Amino acid sequence: MKLLNALTNNLPDYGLLPLGLLGLFLLGCASEPPAQAPLVPDDPEPALFVVLTEDDNMTQGMAMVLANQALDQGARVRVLLCGPGAELGLAGRDGELLLPREVTPGQLLTRLIQNEVVVEVCAIFLPNTDWDEGDLREGVGVAQPAEAAAHMMAPGVRLFTF
């Protein structure tokens, strides 16, 4: 106690203020942490923008599985196919069967299209390949960059890239 008195002798007298501040600090430390954001947002219709650039069959398959799952869980889904991944948007390019469901990435993409999901190839895909719009899978369009960018930046849109 003598040591404490010696150390605090030359300090101004603040009365019980330091003790009160210490109490508030300890009370704040002992309180419950703030609530975490829910895993599923309260937004009644969350939006998912899937950008697929990979040509790997399993990567394409997983992207389509997750897009379909999000759709089934009430999300608005939009798909943009670019680079080598854009070939999935071509008619007859279904990919190989994937286990355990024995479906192809193309079949999963077709399910999205049948559920009115907007599926597009990048605007620069066709002009830089030997394909044209007639080679696209039914229901696949060509993205308009300004529209795709506006969708991507809209509040609440989650962007997933594969």
Q: Is residue 147, in this structure, part of any structural domain at all?
A: yes
**Domain residue limits at 134:** 47-161
User: Do the domain assignments include residue 21?
Assistant: no
- CB-CB contact of 90 with 136 (8 Å): yes
What confidence category does residue 15 fall into, taking pLDDT thresholds of 50, 70 and 90? low
CA 13 vs CA 10, 24, 49: distances in Å: 9, 19, 61
In sequence order, the 6+-apart residues with CB closer than 8 A to the CB of 128 are none
When mean pLDDT is compared across 7-21, 95-109, 112-126, the lowest value belongs to 7-21
6 CB neighbour count, 10 Å cutoff: 9
> Is residue 126 assigned to a domain?
yes
- How far apart CA 64 and CA 44 sit, in angstroms, is 22
Instruction: Take residue 77 and report the two structure tokens written for it.
Output: 């889904």
- Whether residue 6 is contained in a domain is answered as no
Closest CA to 46 of 153, 146, 149, 155: 155
Is 131 part of any domain?
yes
Give a yes or no: residue 4 inside a domain: no
Alpha carbon distance, N-terminus to C-terminus of the chain: 65
In a domain, 150, yes or no: yes
pTM flag (> 0.85): no
Encoding tokens for residue 81?
Answer: 């196919």
Domain count, the chain: 1
Q: What is the CATH number of the domain that holds 140?
A: 3.40.1260.10
Q: Is 16 a member of any domain?
A: no
Helix, strand, coil abundance in the chain, percent, nearest 5 = 45, 15, 40
pLDDT in tens, 119-161: 999 999 999 999 999 999 999 999 999 999 999 999 999 999 9
